Amino acid sequence: MFKTASTLSRSKVLGGLAAMLLAATSFATAALAVTPEEIKARGTATIGVQMDQFPWGFIDQNGQNDGFDIEIAKLIAEELGVDVKFERVTGQNRIPLLVNGNVDFLVPSMTITEERAKVIQYVIPYSSNDITVWGKTDADIKGNEDLGKYVIGVNRGSSFEPLLVKVAPPETQIKRFDDDATTVQALLSGQVDAILGSVTYGLVISQTGHGDAYERKYKVADNFQGMAVRKGDQEMLDFLTDFVTRHTADGTLDALYKKWIGVDRPKLPTTLPGVDFTGKQ
């Protein structure tokens, strides 16, 4: 099919508008850039954290922010010598809140992906949330090939769902639930034989008092997590990279992970395919 002169002209105009929009977005992001020194001068760091994801970030019985990410965020603010203001983030709003300048940076136990790395700047991994199969103790599940013998539950719309579909045999019966809590409850109530999801599901299972009836079967995949800053926030990126490096070396991050997640923090990579942690590419 041939393009007319008017069609070609319209294509050029649309292409030009797209380029202008991209440039404007890049300019706006650069204008929102923040440095450690600016945060120090302001006296407050606004940090995006989860507030409803135990044990990463949650509100405790006294109405205070607590959890693995919260302790890390407080430590960062302490090293900056400033007060901390926590901004609640969710899986849907955390990237817009960062890009639009509502927070200075994110400490959200967020999975590092190539697609997200095109929009935000990740810091080297500080945490991991291994994707794990949890099941009834008497369920003979040792690997992906065994899933087809059982009914498996998963959080609908999560990153766990497409992974389960990919690794499970075609005949696997998969039941989908609205969130992590209902997925775990489905296992405890006998609606499913096993579930695929977060390594921290084990903490929730133990709290029910029925931990002996269920066990961690095997790790399906790594799930590395990173803090994030805006593209172009090089000084903030360098500060947080140094923070993670130092507190990996001195054992601080290992101790906090063990305290909140209940298992040893795995050795984390400093490079991943398709993800730039330097901010200079």
What is the CATH class of 131-221?
Answer: alpha beta
Q: What is the mean pLDDT of residues 246-252?
A: 98
Q: Distance between CA 46 and CA 30 in Å, rounded?
A: 18
- For 108-147, the pLDDT digits (tens) are 989 899 999 999 999 999 999 999 999 999 999 999 999 9
> What letter does residue 149 receive in the DSSP assignment?
G
pLDDT category of residue 237 using cuts at 50, 70 and 90: very high
Q: 32-129+223-261 has which fold? A: D-Maltodextrin-Binding Protein; domain 2 (3.40.190)
For the cut 70, the answer to whether the pLDDT of residue 29 exceeds it is no
Classify burial at 155, counting beta carbons within 10 Å of its beta carbon; exposed 0-12, middle 13-18, buried 19 or more.
Answer: buried
Query: Quick check: 48 and 108 in contact, CB under 8 A?
Result: yes
- Residues contacting residue 46 through CB under 8 Å, at least 6 positions apart: 85, 87, 102, 103, 104
SS (H, E, C) 154-220: EECCCCHHHHHHHHCCCCCEEEEECCHHHHHHHHHCCCCCEEEEECCHHHHHHHCCCHHHEEEEEEE
pTM as predicted = 0.78
| CATH 3.40.190.10 domain extents, the chain | 32-129+223-261, 131-221
- pLDDT above 60 for 18: no
Assigned token pair, 233? 């926030």
3 pLDDT above the threshold of 60: no
- Pairing verdict, β 173-177 and 151-155: parallel
The pLDDT assigned to 92 comes to 83
Contact 213, 184 (CB under 8 A): no
pLDDT tens-digit profile of 190-218?
A: 999 999 999 999 988 988 888 899 999 99
